[in-house]
Amino acid sequence: MPNTLSRRDFLKVGGAALGALTVSRFVPPRVVAAARTAGLLDQNGDGYIPTMCEMCVWRCGVLAKVEEGRVVKLEGNPDHPNSKGKLCARGQSGLMNTYDPDRVLTPLIRVGQRGEGKFRKASWDEALDVVAANMLKIKEQYGAQAMIFSSTHNLSQVQFENLLYAFGSPNYGTQRSLCFNAMVTAFSLTYGIEEPSRDYTSVKYILLTGRNLLEAISTSETSDLMDAVARGAKLVVLDPRFTKTASKATEWLPIRPGTDLAFILAMINVIVTEKLGDCEFTARYAVGCDKLPAHIAFYTPEWAAKKTGIEADTIRRIAREFAAAMPDALAHPGWRTSNFINSFQTERAIATLNAIVGNVLTPGGCLNAENPEASGITLGKPSQPPYPRLSSLRLDGVPWKYPLVPLKLGVFQELRDAVLTGQPYQAHGWFIARQNPVLSLPDRQKTLEAFGKMDFIVTVDIIMNDSAWFSDVVLPEASYLERYDPLLPVSGKVFIRQPVIEPQGEAQSALWIYKQLGERLGLGDFFQYQDEEDYIRQQLAPLGNYSLEELRLHGYVEPPAKEKSQEITFNTPSGKVEVYSETLANAGYPALPTWEEPPSPNADQFYLLTGKVGQHTQMGTQNNQLLHKYEDYPRLWMNPEAADKLGLKDWELVEVTSEVGSVKVPVQVTPAIRADCVYLTPGYGHLSKGLRTAYGDGVSDSVLHVTYVDPVSGGQALSQTFVTVKKA
């Protein structure tokens, strides 16, 4: 596909002389020249350039169709295992992020009050000098730890971490505690792997809990699931909402929020007591299964029925069907699973359920205890001196308050209390890169108050997101179609994100920004690369004799596969699947999956559920005009029974109030939700007037969310907020 020329292209080649003129006018030479050298573009600057998507964190391979220096279409790269030639709505619309009329194209320095949105344009030199001077001032006055650094999962994050560790601050906020901390911590402790990959090739029975795969889309996995369902695989969905995933399910069980754990425990109970599990597998690869029967005996389907609201017979039947499909049965680990403070235990139970049906790592097994991103490939990196020793406590309480939370995950939402109380010490500066904590953290008011305590805030982003709106300096990053990022190994291949067009305005790549800033902070030794291409060449070096041009032409290189050891080992202390975890026992937590009662709302309250829609990624894409075009207006879902009680009609404006805030939003009366729940699509309600498409669209659930932290995994319990609803 990339090498096929359209008829029009042929015509253009014919008029090459004229074309050359056009190109020289429209396209600055750097990107086009490089792409031509790599054989990707014809004389006229037209062609397909392989790169990688950044509309969510799934990272599909993309073929960007370029015409005269503009991206005109994005296609899924058939060579990439995450896209397999397809892209979701967000991936398709990616170029509208790049061509967003609200792009920040020059560095901006605030001139008005914070939040007024008054900025002046500045040169990179001036802006970087201002940022460096402020950061150094804070370092001198209060120590490096007074600077908070936060960034959301992205390919340049390695250099972001480099910057913060070189600067010497332990305070690192990621989105992970708002997302998959529960899954990652639980599976790390059970399988020794953060996120096991799923294999749908032979699956016959799929149990989805907390995974709305057809709306929270992961391109290849969503496709695989639909193929499996079309093939006749059974799909059971546990969800208080009748999602689009539920609409395709064989069976939808509207479970009471927070009680998935009880359902899974009861399934384990049935499988273990009726001896339906894979004894051979558990005996060989797992520890603690012998302790299960006694531990699990209490969790009968009858017990679970009271908790979950699902009949005992149904639970029993599903457990038996699940075991009968063994080992082609899959209980999905979920993704953004931090719903209740018991989510960690839920994840542990899911891990255990998979283990006892022996679907892990076996041929045709559905769970691969393999990180899809690691693939055993070690990339090179520029040499650098050792980081300064960190002597101060982390403000987010890891590990002194949350001993089991991995350092690189952190507990982001805890930071603000430390900022507001000044305990254990006062933070004074905040460096935000490609993240929007104002909307992503629960309890927006608290985040804004924390912003108010800051002497200096700097944000790196491509548009004026809400956090940038409240910042002192905004640094314009090149969009993912305009820049290089560090390489990413996927399934034995090493993929590149490369610029397909010249950056617009004065936007620059994160690699460039961090290096420039590092040099101004006197940390030049930590950024030993000339430019982005040099960085990637250094990454490529240990893989063999690959040239950057070769990598650019194909979008990936495939180093010879390392021999996989026949022996299956797990990266846990015992080397086996730890159904019984010594680590947990030592830390004072239950060593086996154990029921924890989640809080429940009062009679006049509703569970406030959060979720995903297939057209948006968190709070980052609402300003994309094409996604805005095809989105549904975000309303508050409410069951007709509950709406009747409150006397509410469809589209009527209601006031939703939690203990931290309240919003006014039209109601959507739908039977697709339990009567004790309401649901609000997240990511809306932007504060920044610099987002002309998104501003004024919908309301933010972060206004309502109360901060609850799972003590084991540090995950934010996003569905544990209870709200009252009344006519506005």
Partner 1 sequence: MADKKRYGFVIDISRCIDCRACQVACSLENSVPLNHTRIWIHDQGVQGTFPKLSRTFVPYNCMHCEHPPCIEVCVSGATYKDPNNGLVLVDQEACIGCGFCVEACPYDARYLDEKLGVVDKCNGCIQRVEIGQKPACVATCLGGSRLFGDLNDPASDVSIALKNAKSLFRLDIEGKDIDTDPNIYFINAPQSLTSLVTSDAFKQQGQAVPREPKYTISEEGWKKVLVPAIAAGIGASFLVQATYFTKQLIEGEKEFDE
Residues near partner 1 (CB under 8 A): 1, 4-7, 72-76, 85-89, 91-93, 95, 214-215, 217, 219, 222-223, 226-227, 229-230, 242, 244-248, 252, 254, 614-615, 625-627, 629-630, 639, 641, 670-672, 674-675
Question: Residue 666 forms beta bridges with which residues?
Answer: 653
- Tokens for 220, please give them: 């290849």
CA 379-554-493 angle, to 5 degrees, is 35
Residue 156 CB, shortest distance to partner 1, in Å, is 26
Residue 644 CB, shortest distance to partner 1, in Å, is 13
Q: Which of 615, 680, 601, 664 minimizes the C-alpha distance to 258?
A: 601
3-state secondary structure of 223: helix
Residue 411 CB, shortest distance to partner 1, in Å, is 33
Distance in angstroms (rounded) separating the CA atoms of residues 301 and 321: 15
Asked if 510 contacts 477 with a C-beta cutoff of 8 angstroms, the reply is yes
**448 vs 672, beta carbon nearer partner 1:** 672
Question: Residue 103 forms beta bridges with which residues?
Answer: 463
Q: What are the residues whose beta carbons fall under 8 Å from the beta carbon of 473, sequence distance 6 or more?
A: 107, 108, 109, 110, 127, 130, 131, 457, 458, 459
Asked if 239 contacts 679 with a C-beta cutoff of 8 angstroms, the reply is no
Distance in angstroms (rounded) separating the CA atoms of residues 17 and 34: 19
Residue 74 CB, shortest distance to partner 1, in Å, is 8
Residue 624 CB, shortest distance to partner 1, in Å, is 9
Distance in angstroms (rounded) separating the CA atoms of residues 49 and 550: 12
DSSP secondary structure, 669-692, as one string = E-SSB-TTEEE--TT--B--TT-T
Residue 242 CB, shortest distance to partner 1, in Å, is 5
**562 vs 645, beta carbon nearer partner 1:** 645
Residue 66 CB, shortest distance to partner 1, in Å, is 13
Residue with tokens 């960034």: 151
Residue 607 CB, shortest distance to partner 1, in Å, is 15
3-state secondary structure of 398: coil
**420 vs 675, beta carbon nearer partner 1:** 675
Residue 470 vs residues 153, 215, 219, 324, 519: alpha-carbon distances, Å: 22, 31, 34, 56, 26
Residue 229 CB, shortest distance to partner 1, in Å, is 8
Distance in angstroms (rounded) separating the CA atoms of residues 21 and 26: 9
**130 vs 214, beta carbon nearer partner 1:** 214
**103 vs 348, beta carbon nearer partner 1:** 103
**86 vs 520, beta carbon nearer partner 1:** 86
- The order of strands in the sheet holding 456-461 is 119-121, 108-110, 473-476, 456-461, 429-433, 147-151, 172-173
- Tokens for 272, please give them: 């273990």
Residue 290 CB, shortest distance to partner 1, in Å, is 38
**164 vs 229, beta carbon nearer partner 1:** 229
| Chain centroid, CA 325 distance in Å | 31
**60 vs 577, beta carbon nearer partner 1:** 60
Residue 75 CB, shortest distance to partner 1, in Å, is 7
**146 vs 213, beta carbon nearer partner 1:** 213
How would you label 572-609 residue by residue, b for 16+ Cβ within 10 Å and e otherwise?
beeebbbbbbebbeeeebbbbbbbbebeebeeebbbbb
**474 vs 672, beta carbon nearer partner 1:** 672
Residue 522 CB, shortest distance to partner 1, in Å, is 45
**72 vs 279, beta carbon nearer partner 1:** 72
- Tokens for 53, please give them: 């998507």
User: Whats the size of the chain, residue-wise?
Assistant: 728
**96 vs 454, beta carbon nearer partner 1:** 96
Distance in angstroms (rounded) separating the CA atoms of residues 105 and 477: 8
CA end-to-end span of the chain = 55
